[in-house]
Structure 1
């Protein structure tokens, strides 16, 4: 009997059915013949899949989160995997313990530029941001002395890991989620996909959309995602009331991962109005590529790495995310010129099919795994 190589994937923060972790990486590994087990926080609903899931109650408070680190190490040790792959910075100590005590290779999957993320978090008091950032950098440097490999999502993030055994694996969409370009478009609908937060430019977007509605009164804006807080929800609804946009703006909370494509494909324009916070200046949101997959024309912030993708694909327009007037002008232009919008959407879809899809990244993931397992 041939024994399959066993992989244990660990996350302490993300949903077990996270798009990158579960639907892309875990399924790709499973399909490649690995025995995959996932350790993750307990979900509200357990999906029926063939990847074993070991769950735990998400800890609350710093003390409980620190205690949970050792609990997660015990869960990981019990699996006796050949390789471990973790996804959250607070698990660095777990990775070091596995490398040091179990003598198994470990991958740290870096989703964001965490020093920049710390500096951009509004809820972190300004006085502690720099000490937290420096502490993270120091802890990470020590951890990476032991950890076998690092996965990161963009070149900008990857520059921090030039000295280590790293691999860039972008968070591109699955082809099977968007198998065919959609022709069932609502020419008047724009979609905003993802968390509804202040630093993602939601207020500026609504102001700009309000300006666009004056020239395109049939325009519709769909938000698909959850609010960062009840307080921000109230602020957004107050602005919508003030601008008399109730009939034009719709909110839908989170939906199962597999259903996202239906909403995106129905829209004709996808928008990414992220503000210039530190992490946004180096990370690339997967929403950009999901818009491309759904053959949407794209309106995105004018950051250089966003603009590079837009220019490469010829799939959209860039805006100053801090300027509602610019946002409104670009929205109005695309909704008033449906033929150009369709052409941009076709260009974006073509770029997704040939370059910006998970199939390309899956090959790099599997090769990186092989390189660590043969050492």
Structure 2
């Protein structure tokens, strides 16, 4: 299995690897070591290896040049800025120690005249250090602005993009998104050494790694099967880099290598239809829902974290919860802006990076609104603890904005909230809103409309049992479990590699 992240934050990948191992497959899950050396551990019966990856090819040509006209004082992009910052830190440490030595000398009776001369020298050195710090700060700031403000959208950049699209067609990713080669450099040798029968390639960055491994194996007389697991519809992704090339380059690599997949799986029936049409697939992709797997906890169970205890709240305090990534398009602003209109109601955000960037701004905004004490920002818990953890709230919220990928699937948190039997408040994105209206398990509000969100929350809090009763519908929650998805996954594998894995009684095939 291949994934382009550090594994621990990706519950779908972890569940898939562990479940495949439980069905008798020998599983090696290869991910990216985000910092530091290679790492390895066991995930159930699967072996996880994180491979070091240095993002060398990801750097654009302009990042190696100085912007003389726009930022004449900027450091050259050769690492000298980091060296200067480190040198300042070392100098400051030295000055701090010298000041401490003078204090010790004063207590031990050193003549005042000698101390006065030494203190004058130290003050002069401190002044020189402060001047140098401002100079380094100025030059480093210019370097950072030179790097960040080049968006690759000027006429020359657009012409460059169009030229390579016309010249190389789907191969244009080699020019538009060359950072994909960094993944190849990090993963290819390990994949070849493992010599797998099947590669499960997660999402768009790894399908190329799998396809090239398949081609190399074929040259050696080996046949590797590929399952491509498309987690989202790439044309509908909000690009994390607004440079005009990120999405075009990744879509090109996906188109080039999708034909090498022997089977495709994805997260929803709607996305399956879209993928078949976009890539002219010979068959409809299999659907494996992002349902939770609480059964994947450690054998000893361990203590289950308590959401209310982490928030310091009594059992009768109304609590709304959001669990997932923290980004503008996730709509968390709506939850914060609504706090003054929901007196006594608390909101918990369970996010991967509680004190960074966007989420840090939400904390500040809650304080400005006089509701800082009712916003609780908490880190992720292990994926097998998510359902009981979230079940401590009164309402599960999904306030996402209208983006193509938000419209087409029931996302992971939808199933997690549902398994926790939480009433839901969701924005009017197509698939989730339609499901909630059909089941009666919650209320729908207009995305980015704070007043309508407040209406929906008040409605649910007024009669939560009415919405919880929807979960008593026979078969509803059973269909939304990971156990129900594993047969689909294993059937797909066994169709491609009939003599692999285990038979239905659990015996490992020889």
Q: What interval of TM-score do these two structures reach, taking the shorter chain for normalisation?
A: 0.7 to 0.9
2:130 aligned partner: none
Q: CA shift at 1:26, angstroms? A: 1.2
Q: For residue 266 of structure 1, give the secondary structure of its aligned residue in structure 2.
A: coil
1:172 aligned partner: 291
2:22 aligned partner: 31
- Larger mean CA deviation between 191-200 and 84-93 belongs to 84-93
Q: CA shift at 1:305, angstroms? A: 0.4
Pairing 1:107–2:224 present: no
| Count of matched residue pairs | 350
1:3 aligned partner: none
1:5 aligned partner: none
2:448 aligned partner: 322
1:374–1:13 Cα change, 3 Å? same
2:384 aligned partner: 258
RMSD between aligned residues:
2.8
Which of 465, 474, 489 matches 1:342? 465
1:177–1:188 Cα change, 3 Å? farther
Contact 1:208–1:326 (Cα < 8 Å) also in 2: no
Deviations 1:183-212, CA, capped at 9 Å, x for gaps: x96561111101121111011121123312
Which of 112, 116, 124 matches 2:242? 124
Pairing 1:221–2:347 present: yes
Q: CA shift at 1:145, angstroms? A: 1.9
Contact 1:16–1:38 (Cα < 8 Å) also in 2: no
Pairing 1:199–2:329 present: yes
Unaligned runs of 5+ in 2: 60-178, 218-222, 309-314, 500-510
2:393 aligned partner: 267
Unaligned runs of 5+ in 1: 1-8
What is the distance in 1 between the residues matched to 2:443 and 2:389? 21
1:349–1:242 Cα change, 3 Å? farther
Which of 408, 425, 444 matches 1:282? 408
Contact 1:10–1:86 (Cα < 8 Å) also in 2: yes
1:352–1:264 Cα change, 3 Å? farther
Which of 54, 57, 60 matches 2:52? 57
- Larger mean CA deviation between 45-54 and 294-303 belongs to 45-54
Q: For residue 373 of structure 2, give the secondary structure of its aligned residue in structure 1.
A: coil
What is the distance in 2 between the residues matched to 1:43 and 1:67? 13
Contact 1:298–1:345 (Cα < 8 Å) also in 2: no
- Larger mean CA deviation between 54-63 and 142-151 belongs to 54-63
Q: For residue 300 of structure 1, give the secondary structure of its aligned residue in structure 2.
A: strand
Pairing 1:373–2:503 present: no
Pairing 1:79–2:205 present: no
2:479 aligned partner: 355
Q: CA shift at 1:133, angstroms? A: 3.8
Q: CA shift at 1:123, angstroms? A: 4.1
Output the TM-score relative to the length of structure 2: 0.63
What is the distance in 1 between the residues matched to 2:355 and 2:183? 25
2:185 aligned partner: 70
1:101–1:228 Cα change, 3 Å? farther
- Larger mean CA deviation between 325-334 and 56-65 belongs to 56-65
What is the distance in 2 between the residues matched to 1:270 and 1:235? 22
What is the distance in 2 between the residues matched to 1:105 and 1:122? 31
Output the TM-score relative to the length of structure 1: 0.84
1:20 aligned partner: 12
- Larger mean CA deviation between 42-51 and 260-269 belongs to 42-51
What is the distance in 2 between the residues matched to 1:348 and 1:17? 28
Higher RCO, Cα 8 Å, sep 6+: 1
Q: CA shift at 1:370, angstroms? A: 1.4
2:320 aligned partner: 190
What is the distance in 1 between the residues matched to 2:227 and 2:259? 12
Higher CA-based Rg: 2
2:95 aligned partner: none
What is the distance in 1 between the residues matched to 2:9 and 2:332? 26
1:36–1:186 Cα change, 3 Å? farther
1:147 aligned partner: 261
1:80–1:149 Cα change, 3 Å? same
More strand by percentage: 1
What is the distance in 2 between the residues matched to 1:83 and 1:192? 37
What is the distance in 2 between the residues matched to 1:347 and 1:88? 33
Contact 1:193–1:224 (Cα < 8 Å) also in 2: yes
